[in-house]
Chain A
Amino acid sequence: MSSAVLQVEGLHKAFGGVQAVADVSFAVAAGEMLALIGPNGAGKSTCFNMLNGQLSPDAGIVRLEGRDIVGLRPRAIWRLGVGRTFQITATFASLSVRENVQMALYSHTGRLRSLVRRFGAAFRPEADALLEQVGMFDQADRVCGVLAYGDLKRVELAIALANQPRLLLMDEPTAGMAPKERVALMELTAQLARARNIAVLFTEHDMDVVFSQADRIIVLDRGQLIAGGTPEEVRSNPNVRAVYLGSVH
């Protein structure tokens, strides 16, 4: 897979005596939607946090477009072209929707240090264009602190797209949303990812979303990858059926 944007090899992490993630390897290609699924406690979040710089792995290599990013801080990883959305949304509550996106654009271009220029003036069209894409333009002037949860998820997506990422990491992107909204948000994500050739890695509990939106799925159980492939392949994989349905079936 020469076009892999993200390549993970032999990732390990233990907390005390508990092996949270053991020998996990996979890759995500540009324009591809890869879902990481698994039962609660399988190690999905640990795995995610090692990719985004919040945790450092005990062993293993994480390559972003060929470059090893293990040990870098989250902000450095972002600068290399990784956008993120959080399981529990994290936006700037006292800033307007537009200003949230402008903030990411300012940071991307390294212009946050100015003491005298007015913040509101720059990057307005760019921010509005991003908000248009995620369907939040009509609420651009509202403060994030008063938005509905589903709308905040969209704002996060717009923020994540602001630095023209090569890779999007989405941890439970639809958690807390109504079922209809979930599919809509991930359809939108898939559409944007394909149009901009962005690799997307997401964890998800909603299997409707996973099987309808992912190009490929990998399955984690007790820290280890037990299956991987297209939705069809994963659906019929006996290991997966055992983990989710119990071995009796």
Chain B
Amino acid sequence: MTFSSILIQLLNGLAAASSLFLVSAGLSLIFGVTRIVNFAHGSLYMLGLYGAYSLIELFGRTPLGFWSAVVLAALVVGLVGVLIELAVLRRIYRAPELFQLLATFAIVLIIKDIALFTWGAEDLVGPRAPGLSMAVEIMGKRVPAYDLLLIVIGPLVLAAIWLLLTRTRWGALVRAATQDREMVGALGVDQAKLFTSVFFVGAVLAGLGGALQIPREPANLELDLAVIADAFVVTVVGGLGSIGGAFLAAVIIGVAKAFCIGMGSVTWFGVEISFSKLTLVVEFLIMALVLVVRPYGLLGKPQAAQRVAAEPAPPFKVPSWGFALVWLALLVIVPWVTDRYAAILLTDIVCFALFSVSLHFIMGPAGMVSFGHAAYFGIGAYAAGLLLKRAGLPMEAALLIAPLIAGAFAIVYGWFCVRLSGVYLAMLTLAFAQISWSIVFQWDSVTGGSNGVFGVWPSPWLADKTVYYYLALALCGAGIAFLWRVMFSPFGYALRAGRDSPLRAEAIGIDLRRFQWAAFVLVGALAGLAGAVYAFSKGSISPSTISIAQSTDGLVMVLLGGVETLTGPVVGAAIFTWLRDVVARNTEFWRAVIGLVILLIVLLFPQGLVGGLKALVMRWREWPA
């Protein structure tokens, strides 16, 4: 590469970094003060883009029209943020962290469908910035003038936020709350107002980040999750709650991505390396690296301990044999007496039940929240498909080997993950899932790229949908029963002990990381089994089996049923799968419907469905006769 092309890539990267920084700064600010991981932050960015598009159409493509549209779009998104805070989040600040996460995810679904309804499914290409559509010649190469402006905006916004945080009373409160929220509350600061205002500022930043991108990228419905993944990576690399860190990380990642695109394919020592294919992976590699070396990000500090101790998780109740047998009998009889369609739906349900039980195992008893559990489900599915189609193994062998391959990946990913905890751990799991997704998506020649793998059908003796359902029920049921058994074994208790008090676990000789690592591999293999069974039931595999959406589906299933009960994740998986099926067949806007249902449940049953029902039954029993 020549010096001038290096410079161009650098400028490209810096321009991309600006928007990335704006979104991440907002996310970081909101997390710092409210301790809420706002999954909907990417959706706010997306709204900023769509909003700017429509407002420019309205105001006309003049410099004044363009810039007032960008600013107004950001402000409108800020108001949307306030609305979200007032209508939903305000009610659940005291709920467990995971419930807040679930609520913000429901908002993602709702906003996506509102955008679909308002702007349609087509990508919308915005106008170039009036007056800035020319290119500037730098060292013989042409650089869009708008990019140069973006490069300036990033540091300007950083300076503005810095002034706001260090020179105003509001900023002092935000910094204080980021360090010690309870103390700020104890000092008599109106937390409700503070939270709302922080949400407003954070949402404006996200909206502005989106609106500024309108000349550079088309508005589309996939942006929400793509951007939130990027923003997660940036905030985690920079250090949660650190605005300066977010800027640094955005620059590093923006530039790294630009260089990957710019370098294209390079041959080193006779090996051809395609850097442009690395663009989707590179940020996650940076993140994994940073987190292993600096577990709290480049400029982050360890999170302040919260003094309010969480309620101890109640011990799980073992389902009685009678209860289990009745359900098993029902599951065996139903497809016999109903149609073929029921068998297909039930197959989906048992696959997702194992998927969600395995996720529950790692987040409940083991206390490690995963945002990327789909990695193992998807790897299991792909392993099964590729062993069948590319390696020519019989279907039965592929089905049995696939979980081992998912487990092997979990050995590698888990080694990194167990070194972290809390939100950082969750983000790293997401990073690994995205790395897996990117590899599958870009390695066309093996995985079929975005089309996936076709013709993944079971052996002839399993071709009948009902027969296959029985196989799925047997395998997934065995997996679930095994995990439940493990929960009550010494191994399962050791995990719970480590979750309750890592300090005490270490003090009585328990090497907690080894246990957590083993748990990671165990649930990875079983999620892989679920994925493999699922692959053969569908006959094809697409990259969506590893997507963020698949991971969050798992979270929704677990939280819907309730983390605090053993059967909750199974019920959650059944209801979610069934609901999605029913709603999707009746309306195009099934996501919004599911989002609303989730919000209702979060607001009405903060312990999940099964937990909530149990509480109701208890209250009813204690009612004086």
Contacts and interface: CB of A to CB of B under 8 A. Distances in A.
Interface of A: 52, 73-76, 78-79, 84, 86, 90-96, 99, 103-104, 106-108, 111-120, 122, 143-146, 159, 162-163
A112 B490 contact: yes
B326 interface: no
Contacts of A76: 509
A106 B510 CA distance: 10
Contact of B500 (A93, A106, A119, A162): A93
B497 A92 contact: yes
Contacts of A118: 488-489
Interface of B is mostly: helix
B512 to A, nearest CB: 9
B506 A92 contact: no
A90 B504 contact: yes
Give the interface residue-count category, chain B.
20 to 34
Given A111-B490, A119-B488, A163-B508, 6 more contacts: A75-B511, A94-B314, A94-B500, A117-B489, A118-B489, A145-B311
A219 to B, nearest CB: 27
Contacts of A84: 507
Interface in B489-524: 489-494, 496-497, 499-501, 503-511, 515
A73 B506 contact: yes
Nearest to B310: A93
Contact of B508 (A95, A111, A143, A162): A162
B188 to A, nearest CB: 27
B95 interface: no
B44 to A, nearest CB: 37
B149 interface: no
Interface of B: 309, 311-315, 485-486, 488-494, 496-497, 499-501, 503-511, 515
A75 B501 CA distance: 14
Contacts of A115: 485-486, 489, 491-492
23 contacts: A75-B509, A75-B511, A78-B507, A86-B504, A91-B504, A92-B497, A92-B500, A92-B504, A92-B505, A94-B315, A94-B496, A94-B499, A94-B500, A96-B315, A106-B490, A106-B493, A106-B494, A107-B508, A112-B491, A115-B489, A118-B489, A119-B492, A159-B504
Contacts of A162: 508
A75 B510 contact: yes
Contacts of A114: 489-491
B493 A145 contact: no
* From B315, B503, B506, residue with most partner A Cβ within 10 Å: B506
B510 A107 contact: yes
B491 A90 contact: no
B564 to A, nearest CB: 10
A74 B485 CA distance: 30
B497 A103 contact: yes
Given A99-B493, A103-B494, A112-B490, A91 B506 contact: no
Contacts of A106: 490, 493-494
Given A106-B490, A112-B494, A117-B489, A92 B501 contact: yes
B315 A113 contact: no
B503 A86 contact: yes
Given A74-B507, A86-B503, A163-B508, A95 B485 contact: no
A26 B488 CA distance: 45
Given A94-B313, A94-B314, A145-B311, A104 B489 contact: no
B506 A112 contact: no
Contact of B501 (A91, A113, A146, A163): A91
B509 A79 contact: yes
A143 B505 CA distance: 17
A49 B309 CA distance: 24
